[in-house]
Amino acid sequence: MVQEDNKRRIDELFANGFLSKEDFKKLIDERNNESAEYLFEKARIRQHETFGNKVYLRGIVEFSSYCKSNCLYCGLRRDNDNAERYHLSEEEILACCRQGHAFGFRTFVLQSGEDLSYSDEDICHLILSIKKEMPDCAITLSIGEKTREQYQMYYDAGADRYLLRHETASPKLYQKLHPADQTLENRIRCLKDLRDIGYQIGAGMMIQAPGQTTDDLVTDLYFLHDLQPHMIGIGPFIPHHDTPFRDEKAGSVELTLYMLGILRLMFPKALIPATTALGTIDQKGREMGILAGANVIMPNLSPTDVRGKYLLYNNKICTGEDAAQCSLCMSGRMKSIGYETVITRGDAPGKGPHEAKMNI
């Protein structure tokens, strides 16, 4: 049975898209299976109002595992001497995008560690090359913290979206997860610069990161409410064996799904992925994520010989399948739960292509 207090909170969140900090905290702390199912039912109503039963596919290309940053939870961290490093050339990245385009993909997510071997000119030339050859496609960058000037260059070259998970909006927890030279203030500055420039922006947090409290999650919800991102990516913390957090407990599917449901009610028009991390800790995790309110899946277009080297956490799935297998697999799995995968640009509602100011 759904507790009356939590039913009231879910109904209020469904009606207004927001709650007091106290009600958010109690909504999370006092959850049970029945209140979760009631939340997911409401989340699917909001999901269908804007997107119907459509799930958007994004082709992700993980083009470099080098990283100058040293986040304590990440397998790509600078001080991990056991990590296998690689970076792809522009032609190799283009080959991945061409393959994806042939499958029908119309969004490419270019993701890497913070690899300084690629100059801003390299990144801009890559964007311009993809847009020239595949002008019907959207480009999402996920390459970390940069200056406003750098973000403007990429946007002027034709980049449409930028993913930069804030990980946590709690200053104390952020300090626990990162070395002293990486600050929450700079992370937030980056997100605001990206928003102001005109990108479709994506933020999001880890669920049950070491030391995280419910108050931290509520802080995240308030931060996201203020930021109003177009995309929100959340996933459970999963330890990596070559990091300082190797012995910490992984986050749960249950709480991750519950937070997805809350986010869908807060952001009815947001693009919210059911992440690879969710699929890693439960083989049905991505299906459950869609049924909790998510509406994006990101199959991997990276070359199979490097996928096993881009390991942010232990036991990452889909490192062996080729892109065609992954795409067909996801389409079938989504169909089994009553959803249809659509391979379009899938822009955030009210947003679309912008005109690049550069030429090759």
Closest CA to 158 of 123, 186, 183, 188: 123
The predicted pLDDT at position 323 comes to 65
The predicted pLDDT at position 222 comes to 98
**pLDDT of 207 higher than 90:** yes
Residues 6+ apart with CB under 8 A from 360: 125, 128, 129, 132
**pLDDT of 58 higher than 70:** yes
Count of CB atoms situated within 10 Å of the CB of 6: 22
Average pLDDT, the chain: 95
Averaged pLDDT, 243-270? 98
- Is the Cβ–Cβ distance between 296 and 272 less than 8 Å? yes
Tens digits of per-residue pLDDT, 72-94? 999 999 999 999 999 999 999 99
Token couple for 244: 């300082």
**pLDDT of 128 higher than 80:** yes
Averaged pLDDT, 114-143? 98
Please name each of the domains of the chain with its CATH number: 50-342 (3.20.20.70)
Averaged pLDDT, 234-259? 97
DSSP state of 246: T
Instruction: Give the E-state strand segments of the chain in sequence order.
Output: 54-57, 59-64, 107-112, 138-142, 161-163, 200-203, 206-207, 231-232, 235-236, 296-297, 340-342
pLDDT above 70 coverage of the chain, percent:
98
Q: Compute the Cα dihedral for 180, 184, 189, 195 and give only its sign.
A: positive
Tell how far CA 97 is from the center of its chain: 19
Tens digits of per-residue pLDDT, 309-359? 998 888 887 765 666 667 778 889 999 999 999 988 999 999 988 888 988
The predicted pLDDT at position 322 comes to 66
